[in-house]
Amino acid sequence: MRSILDISGGSQPAKSHFITEPREGYTQLYQTRDYGEHPIPVYIPNKYATKTTCEGDILLARYGGSLGKVFRAHDGAYNVALTKVIKIYPELIDDEFLYKYYLSQFYQNFCIKASNGRSAQAGFNRDDMNSLPFPLPPLAEQKRIVEQIENLFAKLDEAREKAQEILDTFNDRKAAILYKAFQGNLTKQWRKEHSDISAIEYLRKIEKSGEDFSKKEFKFWESNELPKTWAESKIGNLLYFAGRIGWKGLKADEYTEEGPLLLSVYNLNDGDEVSYNRVYHITTERYEESPEIMVEIGDVLLTKDGAGIGKLGYVKELPQEATINSSLLLIRPGNTAISKYIFYLLSGPELQSIVKKRITGSATPHLFQRDIKEFTIPIPPLEEQEEIVRILDDILEKEKIAYESAENVISRIELMKKSILAKAFRGELGTNNPEEESSSELLKSIIEGEE
């Protein structure tokens, strides 16, 4: 590599010469951070700008956490964390071919080896770089290789854009699906086939019989905006809510290795269902202190404060007896609603808009029970709630699969790009033309001419 390429490390003027605004007679001093998303420009007097770049030069991060990064330079100076690549024989090397070489695993693996067994500021020096082999096909083939890489990358980038769109619009699509569900749009056909079922009539019967377990008088009404067989009510009239209001938690010695589970926001992070991958245990005595928050299958758990505010979890299964900590609110439907229906309802955009207001309105966001209890919900007949849940389970499972597939596509694209670059610099992209003059012969003639 010594015969065709060289590197030139940057310089590091004293910080006393730095200014933060451009000024005549000053040059911007580029550091690795200035080629990232959060640059912090500094400028130095021209007389200290001894190592400079032109727009498009190739810069390599030479040590530390940025080792292996490759940049296209801007006009200016560069510091000691960077080194500039110099082509000794520019007529032999296509600039874009060279740039893509540094993106390939040949160079990246070299950086890994160069840093092994060294200090935290591990990196490479000129001697290291001189030991790095560099493939040198004829110039015309270099250009064909670059064209082939860019064509393949363009197709992959198009696939990535489509996959990223699926990820970026997932929440909006989910919100739209839930909105349609709770306006009755997903069950129009079902209602045509079950026109004799009415939530209003059912709720009136329950009100008269006093069967509701919360022992509260129903307050429900018909809505002009919903299907005529549906009712509406404030959610606080229909559901049971419980949580440790103001409870400050357990002492360290009250956690146990076995015993009832103490569920927290950490159990609501792995999808719709409550997970038990990360659980705490408490004593049976502590568990029995608060029977009102003993968790049951079918309960809905809502994070009411802290960083996870608004997160929901549906208790589909319960491996053992469990309770909740002070960050959660337990919500349990009565005989007017199905648990999963309430879970989906609370996952929708209306309640989440309340959550957003709480997040932006306070340094320590908190959802009060009154925020939830005053929330007005649509109430279809129980049979229709079951149908809504069935439809949502099916649609949202497909959406989840599409999301995971999109994530997989994006991760595979990065691997495929690495594979393409590796093949390119092994000469495996089908770009070779045996009739072209060998680069080694051309290099030999240039060197002999210089002598």
Q: How many CB atoms neighbour CB 6 within 10 A?
A: 16
Count how many domains the chain has: 2
Q: Summarize the chain as % helix, strand, coil (round to 5).
A: 45, 20, 35
Task: Determine the length of the chain.
Answer: 451
Q: Which residue has the higher pLDDT, 89 or 225?
A: 89
Domain encompassing residue 259: 198-380
CATH number at residue 223: 3.90.220.20
pTM: 0.73
Is residue 363 within 8 Å of residue 183, measured between CB atoms?
A: no
pLDDT of residue 356: 72
**Could you tell me if 235 and 126 lie in one domain?**
no
**Could you tell me if 202 and 132 lie in one domain?**
no
Q: How many CB atoms neighbour CB 403 within 10 A?
A: 18
Phi-psi label, residue 271: left if phi above 0, alpha if psi -120 to 50, beta otherwise: left
First vs last Cα of the chain: how many Å apart? 19
Is residue 216 within 8 Å of residue 173, measured between CB atoms?
A: no
The CA distance from 196 to 201, in Å, is 10
**Could you tell me if 17 and 116 lie in one domain?**
yes
The CA distance from 264 to 313, in Å, is 10
**Could you tell me if 110 and 208 lie in one domain?**
no
In a domain, 413, yes or no: no
**Could you tell me if 70 and 208 lie in one domain?**
no
Domain end, chosen from 333, 357, 380, is at: 380
- Banded pLDDT at 78 (limits 50, 70, 90): very high
Q: What is the average pLDDT score of the chain?
A: 85
**pLDDT tens digits for 3-57?**
789 999 999 999 999 999 999 999 999 999 999 889 999 999 999 999 999 999 9
Listed residue (112, 127, 8, 117) closest to 60, CA to CA: 8
Residue carrying the six token digits 């997989």 = 408
- Banded pLDDT at 180 (limits 50, 70, 90): very high
Residue 90 CA, distance from chain mean position: 42
Q: What is the DSSP letter of 14?
A: -
pLDDT of residue 363: 66
In a domain, 180, yes or no: no
- Banded pLDDT at 2 (limits 50, 70, 90): very low
Is residue 146 within 8 Å of residue 94, measured between CB atoms?
A: yes
- Banded pLDDT at 214 (limits 50, 70, 90): very low
Burial of 40 (0-12, 13-18, 19+ CB in 10 A): exposed
**Could you tell me if 11 and 121 lie in one domain?**
yes
Is residue 381 within 8 Å of residue 197, measured between CB atoms?
A: yes
Q: What is the mean pLDDT of residues 203-210?
A: 63
Signed CA dihedral, 175, 350, 238, 181: sign only: negative
Residues 6+ apart with CB under 8 A from 414: none
**Could you tell me if 111 and 223 lie in one domain?**
no
